[in-house]
A and B are shown apart, each in its own frame.
Chain A
Amino acid sequence: MKRTFQSWLEGDLDLLSEIPDAAEVRNLSRRKLKDIHKEERSRIRALPVTRRVARLERRAFRSWYRILAVGCCMALLGVFLFMTAHVTRYGEENPRASEVADRYLAHGVEETGAINAVAGMILDYRAFDTLGESHVLFTALICVMVLLQRDSKNMRPDYEDYFRIRQEWYYPTEQDPILRRVGMVLGPGILMLGCYILLGGHLGPGGGFSGGAVLGTGLVILASALGDETVDRILTGKRFRWISFVALCFYSLAKGYVFFTGANGLENHIPKGTPGAILSAGLILPLDIAVGLVVGCTMFGFYSLFRRGSIGGQ
């Protein structure tokens, strides 16, 4: 057992290599399957003892694997169902669970200045969570960059004509007349919708995350309809990095100020404004814009890195 495990650890042993393809098994008749099993058993018997043991262990592992897989799934399902049974029913009052929510709904407008209670919650009461979320997204983008970015400094010599091959490999979407027309009609509209969702987050449904995602999708549509080079002209790699950096820094500094004054009981000099006006709700609007820029950049960056291994061309 130990040896099998060790060889598996070192990559010499592929436990899954002997599992037959599901489609293959389905096509075989029962009699034939029996023959195969018999043959395998006799083959195992013919092996030297040590390898025989290893093979038997592998077989045991294989059958256990299925049982354990089903068992784990069932256990998880049970835990989920058990937890769901204890969640408050939809539309039901639960005084214990809604203490915080009641407070947010009763004093949200006067304390945050945002008519949309959700925006007031995620960017004021729970702004620390949102700060972490934007950083998680940014870190994910950096990881994708590390894995997928291909530029002159990060390319194997035999990948020299990488960009030429890439052009042949991917279908040149910008040459498709249908996609081009539809993209030219839809793209600007989606970008406008994204801006609206982004800027109106404190007045109605929307906000930084959803607005940023819509903006990113609009950029993706434009990039596939008009060609990557067209979007590269607007969003160069340098601008991309600066936008993400400045937005994240602004969020951290602005929220840091609020955390500092709030935690120490100091006076907060950011005006709340009249609830309902576009310039109101204190820091929520600028924070929405910062989060939206980070999210939009991340979404477009993912697309760009997955598709061609660079953001904003070379």
Chain B
Amino acid sequence: MHSTGLNTNQIMRQVIYALVLGVGASTLFFGWGILLQIVLGVISAVLVEAIFVALRGRNALESLSDGSAILTGILLAISIPSIAPWWLVVVGVAFAIIFGKQLYGGLGNNPFNPAMLGYGFLLISYPLQMTTWPVDFLSFSQAVDEVFNLANFDGISGATRLDDVKTGLSLGKDLAALQIHSTSQAWINAGFLLGGVYLLARKIIAWHIPVAFLSGILIMAILISVFDTQQHLPIQNHLMLGGTMLGAFFIATDPVSASTTPKGRLVYGFLIGVLIIIIRAYGGYPDGVAFAVLLMNMMVPLIDYYTQPKAFGQS
């Protein structure tokens, strides 16, 4: 499928570089908060990883050098609201690295995507903080004040777009009357999409998962809009809203927790897409990427087993 000529450390670094566009777009629309969260996420990831690896009697520096802890910190930091209190990302990252990775034996042995495990943990434990997003651009000082709880500004925060839409739709409001903020969301998603294309071009990820993931979303969204008379989010918004592109190119493609056979990756990606739409449309949570990925992580051994390619000479 791919041979990048890169080693594991370099691969992790490339993935981090590929996030720049999406993160940049997010900063452009919603301000400095996200960068603050990334800094917090990375610092706590490095510290937790170092301490825990040392406790396990392994070489902390060597483990840190693979960059996977930093990547987990960044992915979680950009998934949570940019104005979330500072301790949220710290708790989430610690959970992700300790329970998501190190307790299983470190990089390569974790069945779940650590960042998504951390995200799921936070969403269940702190639903309010996890769904309060800035509605407008925040200056650096505003972001610092919000994150470190120094002052509260009225009117700078609101629920997630998807949450808004969901509540609005359930209250019977007309879709057109709802503020979807689709432009900024689309730009951020486009940023992650471009980063993903870069990873594809560098052959760091294979096409199977993102393509199947997006087809899953598309097909399921069409099915729902055709067969369910209830009002739903327009199909194109599903693709460019929330964590869709981040999920398709950066989360679901985490090689450790994803399916590894060519056919299996198609099944895995597609079902994640389907689950996302089901959760968005009927679930209790506004976005479904994290839970869809975690659910499919559990299916990976089964998928891998039943999608083994036919070996040469085997009938």
Bound pair (A, B)? no
Chain A interface (Cβ < 8 Å from any Cβ of B)? none
